[in-house]
């Protein structure tokens, strides 16, 4: 079982991909997914508590992810 996580900008560059499949058993907490990502090649780019969006909404680390959720890591935004 794995969870696809969307990556953008500097995070996508660091992981070398715009989508990484994280091997986790769902449901699980956002912070568990982050911990696994930080252990992958390129994962050192991530701060301990990066911004995460689930289904296009910012969420906190204790939020639970279920199958079918769209999960994305959000680098520091720089629009405008």
Partner 1 sequence: MADAAISAGIAPTVGGVVRHVAIVDRPIDVARLSSLVEDDGVGAISLFLGTVRNFHDGRDVAGIDYEAYQPMAERELRSIVREIGDATPGLRLAVEHRVGTLVVGDVSVAIAAGHARRAPALAATQLVIEALKQRVPIWKREHYLDGERRWVDPTA
Q: Given the rule CB under 8 A, which residues bind partner 1?
A: 6, 8-10, 13, 18, 53, 56-58, 72, 74-80
Q: Minimum distance from CB of 28 to partner 1 (Å)?
A: 21
Distance from the first to the final alpha carbon of the chain: 38
Shortest Å distance, C-beta 25 to partner 1 = 26
Nearer to partner 1, 58 or 64 (CB): 58
Nearer to partner 1, 6 or 40 (CB): 6
Whole-angstrom distance, CA of residue 44 vs CA of residue 62: 21
Q: Indicate the DSSP class of residue 45.
A: G
């Amino acid at each position: 079982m794995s969870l696809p996580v969307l990556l953008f900008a500097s995070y996508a560059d660091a992981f070398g991909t715009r989508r990484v499949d994280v091997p986790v058993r769902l449901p699980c907490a956002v912070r568990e997914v982050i911990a696994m990502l930080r252990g992958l090649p390129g994962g050192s780019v991530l701060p301990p508590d990066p911004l995460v969006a689930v289904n296009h909404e910012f969420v906190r680390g204790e939020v639970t992810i279920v199958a079918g959720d769209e999960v994305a890591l959000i680098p520091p935004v720089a629009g405008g």
